[in-house]
Structure 1
C-alpha cells in the first residue's frame, strides 16, 4: 500500500465517481481504477461497484469511509501527491525506534545496505533530512520527528483498515457458500429447510462457516458459474446440463386468493388480476407451465398479470387487493391458514434441488449439505 492509493480511495468515496476523482486529482481514469482494485485487494473486501455513470458503495465502504479519509489526510501531509509506500514509512519508524540502522535491519531481516538505500530514497522523495547518522547510531532531525509522528498515526489507521483482511480472507476461503431461492416467509418450507440445515451444519462443523444468500433462480445459476456460490438450493423442474445435483424436496402448488366456491382452475385465474414473480425465478417457470396447460391462447391474452419479485408483496396483493397468485400450498397455509386455495394437480409440483457445477469442486460440499439436511429431518 502507498500514500497515493489512500488519497485516491478517499476521493473515490467522496465523489462516488472514477471520472470525478480523475478530474479532482488530475490523474488518468485508469490510474483511479487501478488504485481502487489495489485497495480492495489489500483489505479483502469490495467497496464500490459501477452503477450507471457513477459508483455505488457497499455498506462496508460506508463504515470504513471516515478511517479512509483520516488516512488520506495523513498521507497528504506526509507525501503530498507522491506515492510513498507504507512499508518505507514502517521501516523508517523502526529505525527511529531502535536508534540504529544496523539494529533495525537485523530486526527486520534486511541487509544494512538495503535499508540504508531505502531511507536515502525516502529522504530524496521528501526533500528532507530525516536522520542524523553517527558512529553511535541514528537520531531524528526535526523533520524526522515530525514524519515519525505522522507516520505512526498513518500506520495505526492503516492497521485498523487492513488488520482484519487476513482473517476475512481466511474465512472467505474456508466458508461454504450456499445460494438459495428466496423463501416465501419465515414459516415457508424453504425457510424451514434452510434453518434446519444451518443449525445442523453449525452443530457438526463449528469451525467451517456456512454463508447462505437468497436470490432469484437466474442469479443463482449465474452465481454458480462465476464462483460466487459453491452450491445452490434451486426450485426448478430439471437442472441445466452443466449442473449436477439431487432433489431434496418438493411442494404442491395452489392458486391462492380464489373466491369462495370457485373450483374451476381457468375461471379462478381469469377472475382476478394475477400476481406472479418474474421469469428470473424457478417458480415463475412452473407457473408458465400451469398457464400453458390450463388456458387457451385467447384466455392467456385476457390475463391481467403483474410481475413482482417479492413474495410478501404478492401476498399483500392477494390478501388486501383482490389478486390471485400461484404459490406453494403448504407454505401459504403456514403463513395464513384461512387463505382460500385451489390445489393444482401433482404433475405441477415444484422440485427443490441442491446443485453444483458439474466440473467444479462443489460435489463434496453438496454431499455434506445433503447429509446434513437428511439428519435435520
Structure 2
C-alpha cells in the first residue's frame, strides 16, 4: 500500500466523493477509485458503495477514517522533512497524493535501524542485501538526505535518519493497528456461516421459526462457525449463492442452481389468501373481484401464482391495480389483510396468519416445494441438516394443530 493511496483514501472518506477528490488533487477518478479499492482489499471489507450513481460511505468507514488520522498527520511531518510545507496547500496535496513510498519499504527501513546493520536486517527479512540496499538508497533519494552512516560495525542513523525514524514509526504503528482490526474481522468473517432465506411472512412463520431453531441448536453445540442471517428475494438468493456471498439458501425454487447441492425442505400446496371480509368462494370469484399482489414472477411462488390466476380470470377489470413484484411477504400480508388485495401462498406459510386473512383452497391441487441449497463447506451441509430437521418438526406440529382445530370445530358443531 502506498502512502499516496492512503492520503487519497483519507480525503475520499472525509469528503464522500471520488470526483471531488480527483478534482482537488488533479488526478483521474479511476486513480482515486483504485486507491479506495486497494485500501478495501488490504482491510478486507467494504468502505464505500455506489447508490444512484453517487458514492456512499459505509458505517465502517468512520472507524477507518479515525485510524488514518495519525497516518495523514505523519505524512504532513514527512512533507516538511522533504521540503513540502502543508501550509502551501495545493502544492502539498499534489505531492502527498502521489507519494510512491510503500508501507513495506518503511517497515524495512525501521528493521535496518533497529538491527543497526543492513546485512542482519536482510537476513531477518529474507531479502538479498543488494535489494535492501537499493530500497534504502531510493528512500534517501526521495527524502533528499542521507538516513544512515555506513560504518565498519554497521549502519547508524544520521540526524535526518532519526527524524525519519520517528515519522515512520508513527505510520507503521497506525497502519498495523488498522490492519490488526481488519485481520480479526476477516478471521471472524471466514469462520462465519452465511445463511440467506426467502423473506418470512412474519415472526411466527415457518421460515423465521426454522432459522430460530437453527441458531439455538447451532449455538448449543458450541460450533466454531458463527452464523449470520439475511433475508432477500429468491432471485437475489440465487445470485448471492453463486457469487459466494452466502453459503446456504432457503428458497422456493432451485432453478439455476444445478451446480449446487440442494435438498427438498418441505412440500405443501398453494392456497389463496383473501381479505377477512371477502365473500368469494372460488378462486375465479376472488381473482375477478380483487386486485392481486404477489412476489416477482422470477420466484417459484410468483411464477406459479401468476400463471394460475391468469388462467382463472384472463379479463379482470382490476388488472391495472395488480402488484406482481411485491417481494416483501409482510407487505403482501398487509395488503391482503387491510387493503382488499388477494394473493397466493404455500399452505404452510398461510397457516400462521389464519387470524389475519381468509385461506381459500384452490379448485385443483397445485403442489409447491421449498428447498435448501448450499455450497461445498462442511459447516453449510451441517446447517442444512439442522434446518431440514427443524422444518420437518415445525410442519408436523402445524399439521397436528390444524387437525386439533378441525376436531374442536366438529365437536362444537
Report the TM-score range of the alignment, normalised by the length of the smaller protein: 0.7 to 0.9
Find the counterpart in structure 1 of residue 31 from structure 2.
31
CA contact (8 A) 1:177 1:230 kept: yes
- Structure 2 spans left out of the alignment, 5+ residues: 80-95, 394-413
Q: Secondary structure at the match of 2:201?
A: coil
Deviation at 1:49, TM superposition (A): 2.9
Q: Secondary structure at the match of 2:50?
A: strand
Deviation at 1:367, TM superposition (A): 4.4
Find the counterpart in structure 1 of residue 229 from structure 2.
212
The structure whose Rg is larger is 2
CA contact (8 A) 2:146 2:160 kept: yes
Q: Secondary structure at the match of 1:275?
A: coil
- Structure 1 spans left out of the alignment, 5+ residues: none
CA contact (8 A) 1:256 1:339 kept: no
**1:339 equivalenced with 2:356 (yes/no):** yes
Deviation at 1:192, TM superposition (A): 1.3
Find the counterpart in structure 2 of residue 326 from structure 1.
344
CA contact (8 A) 1:40 1:46 kept: yes
Pairing of 1:291-310 with structure 2 (within 5 A) = 291-295=309-313, 297-299=314-316, 302=319, 304-306=321-323, 307-310=325-328
CA contact (8 A) 2:122 2:128 kept: yes
Find the counterpart in structure 1 of residue 22 from structure 2.
22
Deviation at 1:124, TM superposition (A): 0.8
Count of residues paired in the alignment: 370
Determine the C-alpha separation between the residues in 1 that align with 2:217 and 2:122.
Answer: 52
CA contact (8 A) 1:3 1:76 kept: no
Q: Secondary structure at the match of 2:365?
A: helix
Pairing of 1:194-233 with structure 2 (within 5 A) = 194-204=211-221, 206-233=223-250
Determine the C-alpha separation between the residues in 1 that align with 2:361 and 2:59.
Answer: 43
Find the counterpart in structure 2 of residue 256 from structure 1.
274
CA contact (8 A) 2:273 2:336 kept: no
Determine the C-alpha separation between the residues in 2 that align with 1:201 and 1:50.
Answer: 35
Q: Secondary structure at the match of 2:49?
A: strand
Find the counterpart in structure 1 of residue 401 from structure 2.
none
Distance 1:275 1:2, change over 3 A: same
Deviation at 1:337, TM superposition (A): 4.8
Deviation at 1:125, TM superposition (A): 0.7
The TM-score, its normalising length taken from structure 2, stands at 0.77
Distance 1:348 1:21, change over 3 A: farther
The TM-score, its normalising length taken from structure 1, stands at 0.83
Determine the C-alpha separation between the residues in 1 that align with 2:389 and 2:356.
Answer: 32
What do the CA deviations read for 1:210-248 (whole angstroms, capped 9, x no partner)? 443221111122223333334421113x63473552211
Determine the C-alpha separation between the residues in 1 that align with 2:173 and 2:151.
Answer: 30
Deviation at 1:102, TM superposition (A): 4.4
Root mean square deviation, CA, Å: 3.1
Distance 1:146 1:251, change over 3 A: farther
**1:47 equivalenced with 2:47 (yes/no):** yes
